[in-house]
Structure 1
Amino acid sequence: MGNELFKNNLRVYRAKMNWTQEDLAKSVGVTRKTINTIENGVFIPSAFLALKIAKVFHETVENIFFIAEENEKE
């Protein structure tokens, strides 16, 4: 359990909606930089922000954010 990484599928869901990082940022009330840092695994969103993101995509949090083993391929 020690080699786990917080991952996400934000790019995939943005692409499905043809949204930019800016589009997503505006829809959840954050900056484009925040979305960028989440997508790149630099920043882990709060539970509240993760729920807001999931809501705009009409998905569960678990479909967008997940924990992966460090050695797993994406």
Structure 2
Amino acid sequence: MNPITECKQCSDCAIRLGFGFTQPDVLICTVRGDEVGPGDGCTLGSPGEPVQAVEACEVDVSGRVGYGTEVLG
């Protein structure tokens, strides 16, 4: 029987960091493309450290004013 690699100890896993006070960190399997639990695992995983997930987001800051910032020239 093949050994099981837990998701929290797999290099194919990514950690999407939570933000604010209520959002927890979430583990995502980069092979399956969905959320996994820390105790989940499989026999196809690669032992190692999970990486930090990078998510693109669209932000429109046109017409906004920042306070307490310097203008860089």
Class of the TM-score when normalised by the shorter of the 2 chains = under 0.3
Q: Which has the higher strand share?
A: 2
- Larger CA Rg, structure 1 vs 2: 2
Structure with more relative contact order (C-alpha pairs < 8 Å, separation 6 or more): 1
Q: Which has the higher helix share?
A: 1
